[in-house]
Structure formats: structure tokens, C-alpha cells
């Protein structure tokens, strides 16, 4: 999404903390620090873009005085959204960020979800925040040196640059205020002070709703977003518990309707297991041609990415709670969630194409880096257990959806050596017991299998 004349240097969360010492000795760590600093310099271009934004905003404001009746009608349609945003920021400014949970009324959360899924820019901002604690590598937080508890690699430079660029070209978009405030809140809480100061200076020059970049507003909005994601997972668990009661008499456990049978071996006593499997079942059956499919599937993507193994007790990971899990069960769930992050990409694009929409986000690069990070999922620990097929499906999904690499193929070949799968017919049967959208991804899986076997 970055300007081709100004290529982005990606800065990311280190995905192999255990190799940090060796990387320092080899000079790789210092090199990466230079990349991060280059990222900060790159994002300072936002200040220049903000100047352009002001000029374009003035021109658009002057031109709007000459708009047609249809333009006035459009403004009337936008007024409810603008009124909601104004009231939301007024409430955020009137309360301390620590009291945000009591402020986050159901109506506000519903409207925020509509914002997160209703436009490209706000969805990208929500994606950015949803991945904050996403442990896609299955590495213990004790072993992570970043302090984020996340193995997810953030394409921070590309994401921020793309969102900034979108806002400059559509300065009157009603959801811009939420997108920018959400990013500012994340930077304030999780980012570095230098980046936050640079971005805030540029963002304040944009035409945003009153109070959207006040400290209390952005701090609270980031917290409300995390609450939204946590409660979505809780609501998924509650719904599945209610709807699955009758089916539990047949299967002996609570299982979401439409869940592929390969996942039936996962115990669902914990809320987090049932919520994730409920989301998986929805993705497995999703009809991308249905009206409103883009918004509906964006929500499923955010639910998948923001899922936490301790969402029933906190918006953030709780080590003591997760350590009480059966660690093999938990590792299997990490495999499921990480694979679904990749498997959801072609479904999202099918939604976009079915409704003739446009989205410029660099999904493939994100999927490639995600697959690289997920090599640390410790899949070998599941081989020879009841979760062996889940491990094979998950890694086949991650590697097949990423751009082919020799390292990726070698990693998958290592797992295949432990399995009894020798033919494509065996592999296809395994895939069909899990999430396998044949019409969208069959060729990806088959090409990978052929590279591994022949």
C-alpha cells in the first residue's frame, strides 16, 4: 500500500526471542534496530502528507458549497454516524480511561463494531489493534523479549502509511476520526514515544472530530476496542454453549454446528476452546456471496486474530490462567487459530470480489510473514498425539497460502516425515476433515503437496 517511489522498510516484533543472543553476536540485532529507526523516519512523512491533507480539505470544503441536492442527501445520511462519533468522543473525554469498562455501553460497542467492519481504513486500524496480544507462535510470554506477548509480525510501516494515505484522499470520511484515534491510542500505550509524537503531530493536522486526539479519548478508545474484542469472544462462547446443549447428547461434548469433524477431538470445557471452535465453524460454512458478507466476514477475521487463551477473565493474556491449561490442548488451539488467520485471506478476497469492492491492503505480504513466524508453533510436539492431523492441516494451510520458499517447503517436509501420508488422496481426505475451502484454495494445497513429494 505504500507509495512505489518511497518503498517501506517493515518494522516488526521479533519472532524468535530464543535466538536473540546469537543474533546480537552476528550483528543482526543492531541491523534490525536500524530498520526500526528507518521506519520511524519513514513514517515522519505523515507530517508532509498532513499539509497536503489540509489543502485538499480546504478545497473540498469550498467545493461542497456548490454541491448538488444529491450531495445534501448524502450528508443527511452521514449525520447519524457523525452524531454517534461526536457523542462517543464526548463520553470518552468525560471519563477516566480506567473507568472505560463501565462507559462501554452495548450500543457503543455495536456501533464501534459497525465502524470496524464498515470501511477499509477503520478495518485496517482494527486489525492492527486486534493483533496486539495474538500469540500466533505458541511461544510462552516468558520467552518473549518484546513484552507484547505476541508472536505476530506487524507490518507497522505499511499499515500506518496506507491508512494515512487513505485518509488524505478521503478527508471527509466520517470514520477517519475513529481510525486515527484508535491508532493513536495503540501507539500511546504500546508503541515508542518518538513514533507516537511524530504520528500525533501529523494526525492533528487532519480534519477530525473534536476531541478525537485528546489523551483521554485515545487512551480510552484503545481500551474500549480491546473490550469489544474480548466480549465478542465471550458472546461467541455463550451462544455456542446455548445452541450446542442438545448436540452434546449426541457427541458427548459441546460442539458448534457445522464444525468440521477433525476438530471434534478438542475438549470444549474451557470457554476459550469453544469460542475459537465456534468462530472456526462460522468460517468453514461462510457464504461470501451473501448480502453483507464483507462486513460479516471482517468481524470473523477480527475475532480470529484477537482470540486469547484467557479471554474469559481478561482483555490481556494471563500467564497463570494459561499455564493451568493442558498444554497439548492449548498448543493444538494455537495451531487452529494461526492456520485460520491464513485460511481466512482467500475468503475475504472472495467477499470483496463478489461485491465488486476495492481493497488495497497488502494481504499476501502479511500472510508470508505470518507463516514465517508460525514456524515456532512447535508442531513436532503434536506428532504422534491425537492432534497430529490438526498439526499437519495447520502447517499445510500456513505454508500453502504463503509465497513458496525453500525454507517453508523444508519445514513442511520435516513434518511429513513423521506422518503416514504418502499420496495426495490421503492428504486431501485429511484436509477435508478440517477447514478446506476447495473452490478457493485447492490448487494452493495441491501445489505444495506436489513440491513436497515429487
* pLDDT tens per residue, range 183-205: 888 888 887 788 788 778 877 87
DSSP 326: -
Tell me the per-residue pLDDT of 240-259, one tens digit each, with 9 for 90 and over.
Answer: 988 866 666 665 678 899 99
First to last CA, the chain: 36
Give the long-range contacts of residues 92-98, CB within 8 A, separation 24 or more. Answer: 92/211, 92/216, 92/217, 92/220, 92/221, 92/224, 93/211, 93/214, 93/216, 93/217, 95/216, 95/220, 96/216, 97/216, 97/219, 97/220, 97/223
Q: Which residue would you say has higher pLDDT here, 397 or 10?
A: 397
Percent helix, strand and coil across the chain, each to the nearest 5:
70, 0, 30
Tell me the per-residue pLDDT of 328-357, one tens digit each, with 9 for 90 and over.
Answer: 999 999 999 999 999 999 999 999 999 999
Distance between CA atoms of residues 47 and 57, nearest Å: 15
- pTM of the entire structure? 0.79
What is the pLDDT, as a whole number, of residue 125? 87
In degrees, rounded to 5, the angle at the alpha carbon of residue 368 between the alpha carbons of residues 362 and 371 is: 140
Torsion angle of C-alpha atoms 353, 358, 364, 369, degrees rounded to 10: -130
User: Contact at 8 Å (CB) between 402 and 371?
Assistant: yes
Smallest CA-to-CA distance from 209 within 29, 350, 312, 83 is with 83
What is the pLDDT, as a whole number, of residue 439? 95
Identify the top-confidence range among 79-93, 165-179, 244-258, 429-443: 429-443
Residue 435 sits at φ, ψ, to 5 deg, of -70, 120
User: Contact at 8 Å (CB) between 431 and 396?
Assistant: yes
Q: Which of 46-60, 217-231, 391-405 has the lowest mean pLDDT?
A: 46-60
> What integer best gives the mean pLDDT of the chain?
77
Smallest CA-to-CA distance from 182 within 246, 264, 125, 109 is with 125
User: Which string of DSSP letters, residue by residue, matches 284-304?
Assistant: HH--TTSTTHHHHHHHHHHHH
Distance between CA atoms of residues 1 and 121, nearest Å: 12
- Per-residue pLDDT band at 63 (split at 50, 70, 90): very low
Identify the top-confidence range among 120-124, 167-171, 233-237: 233-237
Distance between CA atoms of residues 310 and 230, nearest Å: 9
DSSP 10: P
Amino acid at each position: 500500500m505504500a507509495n512505489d517511489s518511497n518503498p517501506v522498510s517493515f518494522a516488526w516484533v521479533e519472532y524468535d526471542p530464543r535466538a536473540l543472543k546469537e543474533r546480537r553476536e552476528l550483528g543482526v540485532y543492531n541491523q534490525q534496530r536500524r530498520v526500526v529507526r528507518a521506519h520511524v523516519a519513514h513514517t515522519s512523512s505523515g507530517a508532509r502528507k498532513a499539509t497536503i491533507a489540509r489543502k485538499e480539505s480546504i478545497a473540498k470544503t469550498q467545493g461542497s458549497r456548490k454541491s448538488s441536492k444529491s450531495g445534501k442527501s448524502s450528508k443527511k445520511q452521514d449525520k447519524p454516524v457523525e452524531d454517534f462519533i461526536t457523542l462517543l468522543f464526548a463520553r470518552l473525554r468525560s471519563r477516566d480511561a480506567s473507568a472505560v469498562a463501565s462507559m462501554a455501553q452495548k450500543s457503543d460497542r455495536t456501533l464501534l463494531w459497525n465502524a470496524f467492519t464498515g470501511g477499509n481504513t477503520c478495518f485496517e486500524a482494527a486489525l492492527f489493534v486486534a493483533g496486539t496480544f495474538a500469540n500466533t507462535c505458541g511461544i510462552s510470554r516468558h520467552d518473549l523479549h518484546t513484552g507484547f506477548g505476541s508472536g505476530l509480525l506487524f507490518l507497522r510501516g505499511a499499515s500506518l502509511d496506507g491508512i494515512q494515505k487513505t485518509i488524505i484522499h478521503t478527508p471527509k470520511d466520517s470514520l477517519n476520526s475513529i481510525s486515527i484515534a484508535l491508532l493513536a491510542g495503540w501507539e500511546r500505550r504500546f508503541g515508542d514515544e518518538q513514533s507516537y509524537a511524530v504520528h500525533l503531530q501529523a494526525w492533528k493536522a487532519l480534519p477530525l472530530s473534536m476531541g478525537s486526539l485528546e489523551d483521554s479519548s485515545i487512551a480510552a478508545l484503545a481500551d474500549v476496542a480491546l473490550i469489544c474484542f474480548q466480549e465478542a469472544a465471550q458472546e461467541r462462547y455463550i451462544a455456542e454453549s446455548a445452541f450446542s446443549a442438545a448436540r452434546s447428547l449426541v457427541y458427548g461434548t459441546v460442539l458448534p454446528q457445522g464444525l468440521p469433524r477433525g476438530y471434534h477431538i478438542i475438549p470444549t470445557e474451557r470457554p476459550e476452546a469453544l469460542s475459537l471452535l465456534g468462530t472456526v465453524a462460522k468460517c468453514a460454512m461462510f457464504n461470501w456471496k451473501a448480502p453483507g458478507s464483507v462486513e460479516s466476514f471482517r468481524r470473523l477475521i477480527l475475532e480470529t486474530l484477537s482470540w486469547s487463551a484467557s479471554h474469559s477473565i481478561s482483555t490481556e493474556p494471563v500467564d497463570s490462567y494459561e499455564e493451568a491449561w493442558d498444554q497439548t490442548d492449548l498448543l493444538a488451539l494455537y495451531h487452529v487459530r494461526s492456520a485460520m488467520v491464513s485460511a481466512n485471506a482467500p475468503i475475504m478476497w472472495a467477499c470483496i470480489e463478489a461485491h465488486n469492492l476495492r481493497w488495497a491492503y497488502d494481504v499476501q505480504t502479511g500472510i508470508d510473514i505470518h507463516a514465517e513466524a508460525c514456524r515456532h508453533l512447535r508442531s513436532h510436539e503434536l506428532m504422534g498425539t491425537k492432534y497430529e492431523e490438526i498439526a499437519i492441516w495447520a502447517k499445510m494451510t500456513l505454508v500453502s497460502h504463503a509465497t513458496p520458499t525453500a525454507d517453508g517447503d523444508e519445514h513442511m517436509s520435516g513434518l511429513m516425515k513423521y506422518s503416514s501420508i504418502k499420496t495426495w488422496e490421503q492428504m486431501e481426505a485429511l484436509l477435508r476433515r478440517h477447514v478446506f475451502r476447495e473452490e478457493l484454495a485447492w490448487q494452493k494445497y495441491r501445489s505444495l503437496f506436489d513440491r513436497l513429494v515429487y
